[in-house]
A and B are shown apart, each in its own frame.
Chain A
């Protein structure tokens, strides 16, 4: 069966510091991968999606970036965090109709 991992689970970072969140998927090959941010009361915002290694599409302009160095690895990064980057970050993969989410990383920028 497929499993999706995210780490860390919780992160507190000062403004201006760098960020690296990692997501890995097990039990499937060549999945489509997604990064979402969920802010309180604002639903899920799609940030990036990837259909293969090195193929990244950005949905919204921001100071975040994504990379897919391996088939089942998806990384979300920032060089300098802003206060507005706080939120719950979710990685997801898709097969067929639905998308399947990881446990998430709660990021607080102070």
Chain B
């Protein structure tokens, strides 16, 4: 079993839709949870991160962590064609190491 599981998609939605992207994980020691956006042939860009459980909102993006279920989500409201990209979740343990464990990414396509 992989430490982090993510549906590869592709996920295709119309402009304006609410998008839900998800990851599950198995390591209960993970404390920091991140979402990256990667456009084709570019490096990943850190969108947002959360510590432990709860929600965090940044504009149209909301990150949610449910540690009891080992499940994290990224919601995108009012999706735009410019949101079309691959979204990777990443997580790490608290402590001296800052090594991240990544999901394989979900490809999202928002069509006009």
Q: Which residues of A contact B (CB under 8 A)?
A: 32, 41-44, 46, 49, 88, 90, 92, 94, 97-104, 106
Contacts and interface: CB of A to CB of B under 8 A. Distances in A.
Given A99-B100, A103-B43, 8 more contacts: A41-B8, A43-B88, A46-B100, A92-B43, A97-B32, A101-B43, A103-B42, A104-B43
A17 B99 CA distance: 31
B1 to A, nearest CB: 15
Contacts of A100: 46
A42 B45 contact: no
B92 to A, nearest CB: 8
B104 A49 contact: no
* B interface residue count range (under 10 / 10 to 19 / 20 to 34 / 35 or more): 20 to 34
Given A103-B42, A104-B43, A106-B41, A46 B104 contact: no
B45 A44 contact: no
A46 B42 contact: no
27 contacts: A32-B98, A41-B104, A43-B88, A43-B102, A43-B103, A43-B104, A43-B105, A44-B44, A44-B102, A46-B99, A49-B99, A90-B44, A97-B34, A97-B51, A97-B92, A97-B98, A98-B34, A98-B49, A99-B90, A99-B98, A101-B44, A101-B45, A102-B43, A103-B42, A104-B41, A104-B43, A106-B41
B46 A98 contact: yes
Contact of B104 (A42, A88, A99): A42
A90 B90 CA distance: 15
B102 A97 contact: no
Nearest to B50: A97
Most chain B beta-carbon contacts within 10 A, residue among A46, A49, A98:
A98
Interface string B10-26: 00000000000000000
Contacts of A106: 41
Contacts of B105: 43
